[in-house]
Structure formats: C-alpha cells, structure tokens
Amino acid sequence: MALSAVVAAADGRAAATDTRPVLIGFADALAAPEAAWSLLESGVPVVAFTRRGSRAVLRHCREVPVIPVTAPEDDAEMTVREIGMMLASGGYQSLLPLDDSAVWLCDRIAAGSSEVPVAGPTGTRASLALDKREQLRQARAAGLPVPDTTIVESAEELATVRGLAGGLPVVLKSALAVTERCGRLVHSAGRVCGSEDELAAAVVELSGSEPLLVQPFIAGVGEGLFGLCGPAGPFALSAHRRLRMMNPQGSGSSACVSIPVDPELAAAAGRMLTAVGWRGLFMLEFLRDSDGTAWFMELNGRTWGSTALARRLGLEYPAWTLRQLRNPEVISVSAPREGQVCRHLGRELVHLLMVLRGPRSVALAEWPSRTQALREVLRLRRADHWYNWRAGDSMLFVADTVSTVLRAIRRGGRP
C-alpha cells in the first residue's frame, strides 16, 4: 500500500528569526552524527554535550562544538544541574535528546525552571518512553500483538521463571530503559536463557532493585515503524527491516533495508500513539516471526540507530522534529523508496566477529554460518549506503568504525 508521507514544516520567515544553536546529546549516541547533520543541513547550528572523559566520534565534526558534562552514571543530579546551567545562559533555542539517558535528563530539566523547549518527550510521555511495562499495556490496548509477558520484582521470582512464561527459552530484559539508583543513572540489560544453567547465571547477574520483563524467546526479524506525531495522529511514516544484527543473539542492526509501511501496524500504532497523546518523534520496534506476526517490542521516543537510512531516503526526522516544535503546520511529500540498504561498517565487522565466535545460548538454534556471514559482510554493492558517512567528515566515519569494534571487544560482544 503506497502511503504519502507528511512532514512538519515551519514557516521559513519565523524559523529565520532564531539563530541560536540547538543543544543535542549525548554526543556518543549512535544517531548523534546523523542527527547533527540533519539539523546543520536545514540551516540550524548545533552544539552537543557528552560525558566527561568520553571520546564521542562527533568531536570529529568541525561544525559541532562538543561540551563535556558529568556522566549521569556517576552523578545524575550533577549532570542535570550542568546542562541546566548551559540552558540558563539563554544561548540555545531548544534541547533535543538522542538516547534514553538524554530523555531522562531532558525530562528532569523540563520539570525544573528551564524555559528552553525540549524537542522530545517530557512528563507522562517521557515516563512512557522509558517504561516498557506501560508500553506493552498501551500496545495491547491498541490491538498490537504483544508477547506473553511476566513482570518479576525479585530474584526469588526470577528463579521460578520456568513456570511464569511457559518455560524455557525466555528473554529477560529490564522493564525500564534507564533508571536512577543511588543518584546514578543505570542502563537496562537483557539476556536470552535457553537452559537452567543460563537462567541461574542470569538470576545472579540481573537481580537488583529494578523489575524485569520475562518473555518467550521469539525467533524472527526486527522491523521498525518511524514517524512524527501531532494532534491529528502519526504522519511522515516509514519502515525499515534489519538485514543483520551487530550480535545475532540480539542487538541493534548492522545493516537494514527500507520496506513498505504495513497498513495494519500503522493503524494500530496510530491508535496507541493517539491514546497516549504522543507528540514528536517516535520509533516502534517489532519482531516479525516466521508466521508473519509482527510482535510489539518497544517504543523509542528519541532518534534511533537507523536514522542514517531514513536520511538517505530524504526523511529528515531530526530537523522535522525541531520544525514541528516551532510550527505544527504540515505538508505532503513523496513516499520513501523501498529496497534501499544502509550499513554500519563497524557494526558489520562486529557482526562478523560475533558469528565467528558462535552463540552463547542454547536457545539460539538458528545461527548464521561463517561462510554466509563472510559473504554478506564483505560484499560491497554500489547502491549501499553507510551510517555516519558525509563528504568532508571522513575522519568521523573512520573513528566511528574503529571505536565500535574496540568497544564491542572490550564488552565481550554483549548487545
């Protein structure tokens, strides 16, 4: 079904009156370079904040000053204060969060005295963007397929998971994308457990003060539905499918392809987003199984990893998000092209390393062959696009590739 995308458009004369930069962060978010370029190429100057001591690849973009702040994983309140002080100077027109940590921080800042508008979710929308339990409830109410899910609050409950979610194998993941614990921001974790030994190890590693979601392990292919949402509902819709994941066990994509928007998913997504009063950027993640069912996984209320592919299709979601913040007027544009492929070189190399290493769970019965992985990763097609590639910023592309591989090696390939 051919759908016409709709994009938010600001009145050009009104936009030209504010020449202050947009503050974006964190600079080490996967989509940071593409988001920055989207804004820059729309005529909006950009400044980024990053964790002090980090070496975000965005620093290689000469047009974007990168300002270090205290890492929220060390002192979340200090991070909020430091960014708040930056905004209090009056030197920024808006604040754009690029990852879940930034969504949490921007919501805290918006709840304070800052008068700088946030081009992202705040209040109940931020809570929804960070709480997968509420996302699942809203998705189910809207008619989206949702996996059987059990919420466990303690190690004792987790240890009995075999009786909670229909037996093994199961997927364990945090119910909260990020949360504050003892003044520090803590990120979510997840594991696939296909045996009692794997489950026992996960109980030790994941048990804490945050609730966990327990879901049956579903073999399938990841898809994303992307767009903006206004008072009349979602618009500017597009869709991508994962060709390969950085880690076949489960992680972000290393290569993706544009696909037609599924009208049934789009309709149900519209009901969900309208019911919760969503505004601005969104990404709904699905897992489509061998029977064709697209299971709802989560809602992301910020830029996503495959922003690069959207931009190669002419879908400037970061820039449109800022325009929507200034002016909700809309215009129609052509539907995005299908079959366009975008690859992340560093993640492709990590995918190859993970395949060569082999699966870490007995639940992963289907694992790419080494020959297949070598053939797919090393094959270069003239029509392929690349994440984080821009003429004049080749050093950023090289630094991103190297840092992605080294980071994966240090983490042992965990997603």
Q: Is-contact 94 35, C-beta < 8 A? A: no
> Quick check: do 5-127 and 148-216 share a fold?
no
CATH number, domain 5-127: 3.40.50.720
- Order of strands across the sheet that contains 190-193: 150-152, 212-216, 170-174, 190-193
Which residues of the chain, if any, have pLDDT below 70? 1-17, 113, 155-156, 158-166, 207-209, 250, 329-335, 360-365, 412-415
Cα–Cα dist 141/139, whole Å: 5
Q: C-alpha 220: how far from its chain's center? A: 19
pLDDT score for 275: 97
CATH 3.30.1490.20, applies to 148-216: yes
What are the residue ranges of helices labelled H in 335-393? 345-357, 370-378
How does pLDDT run across 33-54, given as a tens digit for each residue? 999 999 999 999 999 999 999 9
- Determine the 3-state secondary structure of 20 from DSSP: coil
Mean pLDDT of the chain: 87
Cα–Cα dist 68/89, whole Å: 16
Q: Domain-by-domain residue ranges, the chain?
A: 5-127, 148-216
Provide CB contacts within 8 A for 71, sequence distance 6+.
51, 52, 53, 54, 79
> What pTM was computed for the model?
0.89
pLDDT score for 384: 94
How does pLDDT run across 137-175, given as a tens digit for each residue? 999 999 999 999 988 877 667 666 655 545 788 888 889
pLDDT score for 365: 63
Percentage of residues in the chain with pLDDT exceeding 90? 61
Provide CB contacts within 8 A for 309, sequence distance 6+.
240, 256, 257, 258, 340, 341, 342, 385
pLDDT score for 168: 80
